[in-house]
Amino acid sequence: MRFINLITAISMILMLSSCSISTFGKFQANEGIPTFIQVGKTTRAEVFNTLGEPLVHRIVAGKETLIYNHERGDYFFLYGTYEGNELVLRLEHQIVVEAKIEKTGSGWGFMAPATSNNPGTRRSAR
């Protein structure tokens, strides 16, 4: 019985203190705006063929808007760091007329991620 309790305790400690790194998204924010995107030249079809379906696809301020998301987190049990970015592309007549990367959140500490990337917040293009 003592051996089972010892194994259980060791297993729980290892499970609760494991590390993980998560990356989500179709682009790498640290590389900047993808090089194939040229304002005034790149078409909607080229964007979809290269990056795939965006996280968000809607009309904002009268322009078709595509939003691709990139998030990265390093975690150790409940403590961690987080950084989120969005690639925002605005199109007119199926041509990219604006391309920018917006930081949507960052944080560290217990219960990370600390993000403000929610629809309707002032820091998100959604």
* Residue 17 phi, psi (nearest 5): -115, 25
Q: Which residue has the tokens 């975690």?
A: 75
Question: Would you place residue 8 in the very low, low, confident or very high pLDDT band (cuts 50, 70, 90)?
Answer: confident
Which of 38, 112, 53 shows the shortest CA–CA distance to 78?
112
- Does 8 reside within a domain? no
- This prediction has a pTM of 0.68
pLDDT per residue over 48-89, tens digit each?
999 888 888 999 888 999 998 887 777 666 667 777 888 999
29 within some domain: yes
Higher pLDDT: 121 or 4? It is: 4
| Residue range 18-46, pLDDT digits in tens | 454 445 556 777 788 999 999 999 999 99
pLDDT at 122: 44
Dihedral (CA of 105, 109, 112, 118) sign: negative
Containing structural domain, residue 59: 19-110
Q: And the tokens for 62?
A: 């009268």
The total number of structural domains in the chain stands at 1
Q: Which helix (DSSP H) or strand (DSSP E) does residue 86 occupy?
A: strand 79-92
Q: How far apart are CA 98 and CA 86, in angstroms?
A: 13
Per-residue tokens: 14:
């290892």
Would you say residue 9 lies in a domain? Answer: no
Give domain status of residue 1, yes or no.
no
Is 38 a domain residue? yes
In a domain, 122, yes or no: no
Residue carrying structure tokens 């030249």 = 41
